């Protein structure tokens, strides 16, 4: 069973996946994702915009916090994905895997290249810009708004045992096989 809850104005969209099929959970038990830089349904701030390809942002990943973690969670993964880019496979802006199960936040700019701001044990995969780190929003000129989705996944395994050079699509495949719950923030950002 999938439930979606949105709370306008506080940057929160949560999706809970029930693996037991035993009925509805109270809203207070649904995994939630929050950020001081992102309000669900609102455009990114300039600090989350890419700083190349004609875009002039600061390219800093947002601070993220999550709560209402399901029982059995052993690790987390965080992704940022643009389904609206004009390709048949979307665009991966950020993939963080193997975030320890006792961590419930990432600081501002955790996605800097080299991963120095990540929790111990966590790592990033190469994004579609071609580097391991956060690559901010940068919709093509004259396009409709792109719906950038930042998702945190609660996983039932402590470590995704995938090659450090794996593609984001491969990581997504393994993430989805082990997801207990997820929460999403969406930032629809206009063309420059």
For 174, the enclosing helix (H) or strand (E) is helix 168-177
Q: What is the pLDDT of residues 34-86, one digit of tens each?
A: 999 988 888 888 888 788 867 787 899 999 999 999 999 999 999 999 998 87
Average pLDDT over residues 125-130: 94
Query: Has this prediction a pTM greater than 0.75?
Result: yes
Tell me the mean pLDDT in the region 93-119.
96
Q: Which CATH number fits domain 2-189: 3.40.50.2300, 1.10.10.10, 3.90.280.10, 3.40.50.1370?
A: 3.90.280.10
Q: What percent of the chain has pLDDT over 90?
A: 60
What tokens appear for 117 in the block?
């701001």
Give the distance, in angstroms, between the CA of residue 162 and the centroid of all CA atoms in the same chain.
Answer: 18
pLDDT band at 11 (very low <50, low <70, confident <90, very high): very low
* All structural domains of the chain with their residue ranges: 2-189
């Amino acid at each position: 069973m999938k439930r979606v809850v949105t709370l306008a104005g506080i940057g929160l969209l949560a999706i809970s996946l029930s693996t037991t099929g035993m009925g509805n959970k109270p809203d207070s038990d649904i995994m939630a994702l929050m950020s001081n830089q992102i309000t669900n349904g609102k455009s990114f701030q300039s600090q989350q915009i890419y700083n190349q390809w004609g875009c002039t942002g600061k390219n800093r990943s947002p601070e993220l916090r999550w709560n209402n973690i399901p029982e059995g969670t052993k690790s987390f993964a965080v992704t940022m994905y643009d389904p609206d880019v004009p390709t048949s496979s979307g665009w991966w802006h950020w993939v963080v895997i193997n975030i320890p199960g006792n961590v419930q936040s990432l600081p501002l700019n955790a996605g800097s290249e080299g991963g120095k701001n990540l929790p111990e044990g966590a790592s990033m995969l190469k994004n579609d810009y071609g580097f391991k780190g956060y690559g901010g929003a940068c919709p093509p000129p004259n396009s409709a708004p792109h719906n950038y989705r930042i998702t945190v996944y609660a996983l039932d395994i402590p470590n995704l045992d995938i090659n450090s050079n794996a593609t984001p699509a491969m990581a997504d495949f393994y993430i989805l096989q082990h997801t207990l719950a997820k929460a999403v923030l969406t930032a629809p950002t206009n063309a420059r």
